[in-house]
Amino acid sequence: MYENIKERVWKANLQLPALGLVILTWGNASCIDRELGVIAIKPSGIQYDKLKPEDIIICDLNGKVVDGCYRPSSDLATHLCLYKAFPDIQSIIHTHSKWATIWAQATRDIPIYGTTHADYFYGDIPCTKPMEKQQILDDYEWNTGEQIITTFQERHLSTEMMNAVLVSGHGPFVWGDCIDNAVENALVLEYIAEMAYHRECLNQTPKNLLSQEILKKHYFRKHGKDAYYGQ
């Protein structure tokens, strides 16, 4: 019954170390089937090179395991929180990829400096505010998701046009309308995080951000009903 979604999530999880986005067990990929009311997610603590399709955990939307022998990822509650809040999200990737995590640890948005960024993300990549003590003590993983939701609400951001967020002091969460798209967004985020870091090393003034005209041109030629770009 769940073979197809398990296979897709297994393949996506294996891509993360292959693309240099995770080491050890530092990350997870999930996918939701909204018709069946389940999500598939990596099990907790299993090394990627030992991961098999049948190891992928199936949970209902309350986090109860309905298929699988292991514990689901410790980030399950964050994934569930985001899936419930944003119906357009179909897959979520969480990593501790080096360059994106550097920005998260600095509690900084990633400024939009170039067209590579604009091709994928409509504006600066947001970083959440640090979590309050009670948020951490009460239900840390769920409240991590709530912190992301609050960031998007306060900044009036769309999860369709901004497919990534940095959790302050933690790392990136990235999503997409399918699991392949989510993996691609995670890889692009890491590249633009590195480019933005080096750009600031070369030019430490905040000037020369990408103009709104170039941002709109590059984003909308690749996304939406009038898209025509394919490199």
- What are the strands of the beta sheet with 38-41, ordered from one edge? 65-67, 57-60, 38-41, 27-33, 91-95, 171-176, 164-167
Question: What's phi and psi for 106, nearest 5 deg?
Answer: -85, -5
State the amino acid at position 173 in one-letter form. F
First and final C-alpha spacing in the chain: 37
Q: Which of 119, 139, 180, 191 is catalytic?
A: 119
Q: CA 175, CA 207: separation in Å to the nearest integer?
A: 29
Of 17, 6, 192, 54, the closest CA to residue 112 belongs to 192
**In angstroms, how far is CA 92 from the centroid of its own chain?**
5
Contact (CB, 8 A) for 166 and 128? yes
Q: Which of 88, 138, 140, 229 is catalytic?
A: 229
Task: Name residue 217's beta-bridge partners.
Answer: none
Of 46, 9, 39, the closest CA to residue 24 belongs to 46
Q: Let me know if 119 is a catalytic residue.
A: yes
Q: Let me know if 229 is a catalytic residue.
A: yes
Token representation of residue 105? 């640890």
Q: Which residues are catalytic?
A: 119, 229
